[in-house]
Amino acid sequence: MSHSAWQAVLERLDEAAELAKLDPDVHRMLRTPKRTLEVSIPVRLDDGSIEVFTGWRVHHDTTRGPGKGGIRFHPTLDVDEVKALAAMMTFKTALLKLPFGGAKGGVRCDPSSLSLSELEGVTRRYAYEISPLLGPDSDVPAPDVNTDGRVMAWLMDTYSMVSGRNAPASVTGKPMAIGGTRGHAGATSSGCLTCARVAFRELDIPMVGGRAVVQGFGKVGGPLAFLLSSAGMRVVAVSDIGGAVYNEGGLDIGALSDHVAESGSVAGFGGGEMIDDAAIWSIDCEMVVPAALGGVIDAGVAERISAPIVVEAANGPTTVDAQPVLDRRGVVVVPDILANAGGVTASYFEWAQALQGYPWDEQVVAERLRQRMEDAFTAVWARAQTLSVGMRTAAHVVAIERVAEAIAARGLFP
């Protein structure tokens, strides 16, 4: 995503605001993030020199609760992208009825060029600089692209040191040893699986034996490919940054995972034939799952997708001009703010457990996650039918109405 990511969010907000007959004052409030903090992050590198990185933390809206949203480390990150992702978190948390607002943050850096101690230095100084915003009842970060449990542990430790007390509820996606939740790792993927199941059911298309194409084989795409194949689907193609692999009979995802663990990419996997990356979109199948980057389904790609279902595991994979093409062609798109909300839902469970100081069983986490995802899907599906619009628009309408209701209930300060 780039500068246009924020424009895309505004366009989607404007469209939904009109359909929801949103109060124009509330509409204007949601068109502007509540606060944007830009920080400078000086870090001493291993060679003794000092590099100065730039980072941000954005709160889009916090009416429904503390800001919630990931921390992204990426060399092309900019403030418009962070604003867009923060707004998407406002909608996502409202859609799942989580008691949070929308936030996002990150540092413009290339983590692949940093040593472990440099990465820790970037994380800790960034956490310190944004610490005035952080806290279990004000802003609760989580992992995002290029950040993980280890980075969350450094963040939680830095915040705890700065605030002078142990604060496990200040960050989610933490390792189990310091208050992480069971079931966090695969939560986004299993949320996508629930969405896929209900979509197949609503469209009366058999899922078992159906063919799926998955772009991206990382933290989301990898476990999701496995879950889809365990659910009886044939995952016929998978791609990652190294290439794309195809097998008409269905790839052996366990063997593919082993291959990726050894070689770092799906490229060169013996259980299928290598195909051109771009060719994955034209493959005959029942479901396409973008689980890598934003902006990959443009209008041209949308013309080539033959599947009746697209489940957006990635954030922002479909461009604004691609959506009408998919609508015209009758493709049901389960939008990102619904499809990939399993991760933030598990984060909510982690926060609640940390506040209670009482861990839940894995089955409790899994069942509550499935139920919330199914309820959110059902609410969006029903609204899409009544308004005769696609699921993306319906999801924004449902979310915006919930945020507007909270804004109206609280009134305007002072």
**Where on the chain is the footprint of ligand NAD (CB under 6 A)?**
144-145, 188, 215-221, 239-241, 277, 291-293, 313-315, 340, 343
When the beta carbons of 55 and 216 are compared against ligand NAD, the nearer one is 216
For 311, 373, 385, 395, the CA distances from 378, given in Å and listed in that order, are: 15, 9, 11, 10
CB atoms within 10 A of CB 28: 11
When the beta carbons of 20 and 285 are compared against ligand NAD, the nearer one is 285
Contact by Cβ (8 Å): 340, 191: yes
Position of minimal CB gap to ligand NAD: 218
97 is a catalytic site residue: no
Contact by Cβ (8 Å): 37, 57: yes
Pull the structure tokens for residue 25: 């004052």
What is the distance between the alpha carbons of residues 129 and 125, in angstroms, rounded to a whole number? Answer: 6
102: Cβ–Cβ under 8 A, 6 or more apart, which residues?
59, 60, 61, 62, 67, 68, 69, 86, 87, 88, 89, 90, 91, 92, 93
What is the distance between the alpha carbons of residues 335 and 314, in angstroms, rounded to a whole number? Answer: 9
What is the distance between the alpha carbons of residues 82 and 72, in angstroms, rounded to a whole number? Answer: 9
What is the distance between the alpha carbons of residues 223 and 241, in angstroms, rounded to a whole number? Answer: 17
Burial of 346 (0-12, 13-18, 19+ CB in 10 A): buried
When the beta carbons of 85 and 233 are compared against ligand NAD, the nearer one is 85
When the beta carbons of 218 and 271 are compared against ligand NAD, the nearer one is 218
Q: Least distance in Å: CB of 291 to ligand NAD?
A: 5
CA dihedral 16, 19, 20, 25 (to 10 degrees): 70
In eight-state DSSP terms, residue 318 is: B
When the beta carbons of 169 and 224 are compared against ligand NAD, the nearer one is 224
What is the distance between the alpha carbons of residues 410 and 342, in angstroms, rounded to a whole number? Answer: 28
* Helix 362-387 / helix 391-410 crossing angle, nearest 10 deg: 100
For 119, 292, 371, the CA distances from 200, given in Å and listed in that order, are: 42, 22, 17
Q: Least distance in Å: CB of 354 to ligand NAD?
A: 18
What is the distance between the alpha carbons of residues 29 and 90, in angstroms, rounded to a whole number? Answer: 13
Q: Least distance in Å: CB of 157 to ligand NAD?
A: 22
Amino acid of residue 34:
K
When the beta carbons of 137 and 362 are compared against ligand NAD, the nearer one is 362
User: Cα Rg for the chain, rounded, in angstroms?
Assistant: 21
SS3 content of the chain, % helix, strand, coil (to 5): 50, 20, 35
Q: Among residues 68, 83, 104, 174, which one is catalytic? A: 104
Beta-bridged to residue 239, according to DSSP, are 215, 244
Q: Active-site residues: which are they?
A: 104
